[in-house]
Amino acid sequence: MASIAARRLAKELKEIQTEGCPVGINLVKADNFELWWFTIEVMGESQYKGEVYTLQFRFDGQYPISSPAVQFVVTEGRQAPIHPHVYSNGHICASILGNEWSPVLSVTAVCVTLQSMLASCKKKERPIDNDRYVRNAPDNPKKTQFHYDGKCCPALIAYSIMTDMGSAITDDTV
């Protein structure tokens, strides 16, 4: 599968380099097929006017069959945007990065989706469970199983962290 991933990422990179990124999005680095960085900025009137954030993409051999690991960079002086679906460690609760991922989505498509997620934000606030989540969060956000609540009210966003134990004993029957 690595061959699909490499071919696909080469093609996406070439397209970015020849045709440029969508407005407000800029490629920072893409030295290999494992880690790419973009800056992202919301154009026009929004809560985030004038703010620039950095998005990190991590790819494994399964891309694009399974989603890349996407998060905001929170090191080297960079911050994660304050948003009800963005945790302070940079992890993002967005369904297209999880159960609604489709292999036809591209890296820039993800950037645009997240840009529009920021643009539609009415009130700058952290997810209600931010502290609890950040304390226990795995390094790779893909290891978190976010549950995307239909109402998408932060208070109702539940998640579980998949542990290495896998199927820990569940007390579901009695």
**Among all residues, which ones are annotated catalytic?**
93
Pick one of 52, 82, 109, 128: the residue that binds another protein (CB under 8 A): 109
Residue 75 vs 173, nearer CB to another protein: 173
Total residues contacting another protein by CB under 8 A comes to 42
Task: Establish if 104 lies at the interface with another protein (CB under 8 A).
Answer: yes
Among 43, 49, 116, 163, binds another protein (CB under 8 A): 116
3-state secondary structure of 14: helix
Torsion 86-91-93-96 (CA) sign: positive
Cα 123 from Cα 141, distance rounded (Å): 24
Closest among 95, 36, 29 to 67, alpha carbons compared: 95
Binding flag, residue 160, another protein (CB under 8 A) = no
**Residue of 49, 144, 41, 51 lying closest to 91 (CA atoms):** 144
Bridge partners for 3 per DSSP: none
C-alpha 37: how far from chain center: 12
The CB-of-106 to another protein minimum distance in angstroms stands at 5
Residue 141 binding another protein, by CB under 8 A: no
148 scored as a contact of another protein (CB under 8 A) = yes
| Contact indicator for 85, 120 with CB cutoff of 8 Å | no
Residue list 32-71, contact with another protein (CB under 8 A): 62, 64-66
Q: Which residues bind another protein (CB under 8 A)?
A: 1, 3-4, 7-8, 11, 15, 18-19, 22, 62, 64-66, 85, 94-96, 100, 102-106, 108-109, 112-117, 120, 148, 150-152, 169-171, 173-174
